[in-house]
Structure 1
Amino acid sequence: MNANLTVLVSGRAAITDLGRFGSAHLGIPSNGASDQYGARVANILVGNVDSAPLIQITAADFSFRTDVPILLAVTGAPARLFVDGVEVPSWSPVCVPASARIDLRMSGFGMHAYLAVKGVMSTEFFRGSCAPDSLLALGCSLQPGGSIEIESDYRPFVHPYLPQPLFAFSPHIPTFAHAWNLDILAGPEAGQFGDSINELTESNFTVDARSDHVGTRLDGPTFNRAIRTEILSRGVPLGAIEVPPSGALIALQRGRPITAGYPVIAVVARASRDALGQLRPGDSVQFHFVTRASALEKNDAVHSRLDTLRQRVSLAFDSVGMTFGTTKESVQL
C-alpha cells in the first residue's frame, strides 16, 4: 500500500539517510544524518533498516498529512508530537490513522529531530545515498504542498493484549541540554601546542552562530602552535578539531571537506559525535580527554543498545504479523 504524505509546514526539513560512504577517494564527503544514533533508532522503531531514508527536521516545526494509515517514530532532539491535536510519545512507534494531521514542535534543545515512516521512502540516490550535499547540489529539501511517497506493507492491527496502538520499547534517550560534555582524543598535532593544550579541558566554549553542517565553530580561548612549519593537506576525519590561523577551534561535521591543512589538536570520540551534531548556536561545550580504550568501550555500548533494540522490535513486530528490516533499491543517479 503506497502512502502519500502532504507537507503542510516544512521549516528546515529534508530527506536524508546515514550518509554517502565509499566515495572519499573522489573528494565526496559523507554528509547524512547529523545525529546517527537518533536516525538509526527512528528507523529501527518502525521496522526499517538503519540506513533507510527518513526526514531530518532542523530547528523548526514540521507538519504533514497522510492519506493512509502509517506507522511512524520521532527521535533526536526533544520535540512534541501531535496526531490530530492529541499529543503522542516520541522515541516510540506510533500508529497513525488515515487522513490524520501530524505536527512536530521543536523544543529549543538540540538541532535535529528525525521522523521515520515504516516503508521505503521514494527519493533519488547518488552513489548509494540520498543525503543532501550543498556542494554537489544534491538533496530533497521539503516544501509546503510537496508530497512524499512511501511504499509500505504496514496495515492497522488489533492486538488482544495491547490496550492502545503503541509499543513500549524504552530505547536509550540521550540527554539534551544547553551545556554539553564531549569526549576527545589527542590529535596528530596536539604536541605542537605546548601547555596551552590544557585550555581544551579547562575552558568552556560557546557554539558560534556561523556553525553549519561542515563545521561547528567554537568561541573561547584561542590556540597557537609552538612551531610555524606548514602542514601538507591530508585526510581529516569526522570530529577533527582544527585550529585555523585565527586560533579559534572548528570541529568538523559530516559535510566537511575530505582533506585539509590546518593542525588538528584533538578529535571528538565516536560516542560523542552525535552530540556534536546536535549542538546549536549559544550552547556551551566542555571537552574531556579519554583513552582510546575508553572511547572504544563507549562506542561499543552504543552499538549494543542498538542491537538490543532491534531484537525487541523484531520480536514484537513478528507477534502482530509485521515485517522488520525490509528494504528496496531506490533510484540511482
Structure 2
Amino acid sequence: MTPADGLLVLRPGPLTTVQDLGRRGVAHLGVPRAGALDEPALRAANRLAGNEPGAAALETTLGGVALRALRPLVLAVTGAPSPVRVDGRAAAWGAPVAVPAGAVVEVGAATHGVRAYLAVAGGIAVPPVLGSRSADLLSGLGPAPLSAGDRLPVGPPPPYRPAPELVPLPAPPDALVLRLRPGPRADWFDPQALTRLAGDPYRVAPASNRIALRTEGPPVRRARDDELASEGMVLGAVQVPPDGCPVVFLADHPTTGGYPVVGVVPPADLAAAAQARPGTPVRFTVVRGRRDRGR
C-alpha cells in the first residue's frame, strides 16, 4: 500500500509544521537537526495512535489547526492542552480518536503551553529529506509550514497495538527551570557571571521561536569584548549576544555561531522550554558533575 491523501488542511493556524525526531548526524554538513520541540509529547501522540515513536506528526503553535479527513483515520493529540472537536463535537485529548471520512477535525487554541502534537495512525507520509520528514524553518529543508488547501499523505495503518490507557506527560510550566552546565566559553564572562545568572530573574521573550528560546532580563556581563571565531553549536547551547540576554538554542538552531556560549542546557529540560509561553519566568541553575544524558 502506498501513501495516499489522508488530510486536507482547512485552517493551518499561526504555525503548523510536520515534525518527527529530526535529522540526526548531519550537523557536520551544516544541516540543523529540526524535529519536534517537545519530543516526549510527539512520542506520546504516536504511541496513542499506534505508530512507531518517530513517525511524522503535526506540531501546532498556540492557535491549533483544522483538517478534513479524506478517509477513515485514527488520531491522537498531546502536548499543549487544547480542545479537540470532530464535526463540532468534543473529542478526547490525550487519547485515540476514530475519525470517519469527510469529518472535520479541529484542534483549538492551546489553553496552556504553546505546542500541540497531532499524530495520525500511519504517520504523515511526506517525502523524507536526509532521513527526516521534519520541516526546518532555518534552512528550509523538508515540507513548508501548512497552508489552507494542502493535502497531506498518510501512510498505511500500522499493525494493531492496544492503545495505552494513560501516557503521562508533565503540564506546561508556570515557571521554567533550566539546568546549565558551564562552558565551553564561560571564561569569556565576568567571574561572577554564572552566580548572577543563577540568581537573576529572567522571562521568556516574545521573539522566541523554533530556533531559540530568547530571554529578557539583566544582561550577562562579558570579561572579553573581542570577536569570537564562528564555532559549532549544539542543541541546548546558551549563547549570549551583544544585548547580554541568554538565548537557548532549540531544534532549528544554526550549526555554527559567533557569540560565546556560557553553558549548555541538558536535552531533558528542553521539552519544558518548548511549552513556555512569552512572559513565563525563567530560572537557570548551574550544575556540575556527571553528564546528563537527557531522554
- 1:122-173 CA distance string (max 9 Å, x none): 31221111222234433232222222121323699xxxxxxxxx95521121
Task: Say if 2:251 is the partner of 1:254.
Answer: yes
Task: Say if 2:39 is the partner of 1:36.
Answer: yes
8 Å contact kept, 1:109–1:178: no
User: What is the CA distance between 1:24 and its match in structure 2?
Assistant: 0.9
Partner secondary structure for residue 121 of structure 1: coil
Which blocks of at least 5 consecutive residues in structure 1 are unaligned? 157-165, 303-333
Counterparts of 1:1-333 in structure 2 under 5 Å? 2=4, 4-11=6-13, 12-138=15-141, 139-153=143-157, 167-191=163-187, 192-293=189-290, 295-296=292-293, 299=294, 302=295
8 Å contact kept, 2:48–2:164: no
> Structure 2 CA distance, aligned partners of 1:77 and 1:55?
13
> Structure 2 CA distance, aligned partners of 1:108 and 1:288?
28
User: What is the CA distance between 1:292 and its match in structure 2?
Assistant: 4.4
User: What is the CA distance between 1:290 and its match in structure 2?
Assistant: 3.2
User: What is the CA distance between 1:88 and its match in structure 2?
Assistant: 2.5
Which blocks of at least 5 consecutive residues in structure 2 are unaligned? none
Partner secondary structure for residue 290 of structure 2: helix
> Structure 2 CA distance, aligned partners of 1:293 and 1:110?
30
User: What is the CA distance between 1:79 and its match in structure 2?
Assistant: 0.9
Total equivalences in the alignment? 290
User: What is the CA distance between 1:59 and its match in structure 2?
Assistant: 1.5
Higher helix share: 1
**Larger-Rg structure:** 1
User: What is the CA distance between 1:85 and its match in structure 2?
Assistant: 2.5
Partner secondary structure for residue 10 of structure 2: strand
8 Å contact kept, 1:16–1:131: yes
8 Å contact kept, 2:33–2:251: yes
Letter of the structure 2 residue corresponding to residue 169 of structure 1: E
User: What is the CA distance between 1:182 and its match in structure 2?
Assistant: 1.9
> Structure 1 CA distance, aligned partners of 2:269 and 2:61?
19
Measured on the aligned residues, the alpha-carbon RMSD in Å equals 2.4
- 1:87-128 CA distance string (max 9 Å, x none): 222222222233322111122422211100011423122111
TM-score w.r.t. the length of structure 1 is: 0.79
> Structure 1 CA distance, aligned partners of 2:136 and 2:209?
12
- 1:190-240 CA distance string (max 9 Å, x none): 343311321222122122222222222211011122234543322111111
8 Å contact kept, 1:181–1:287: yes
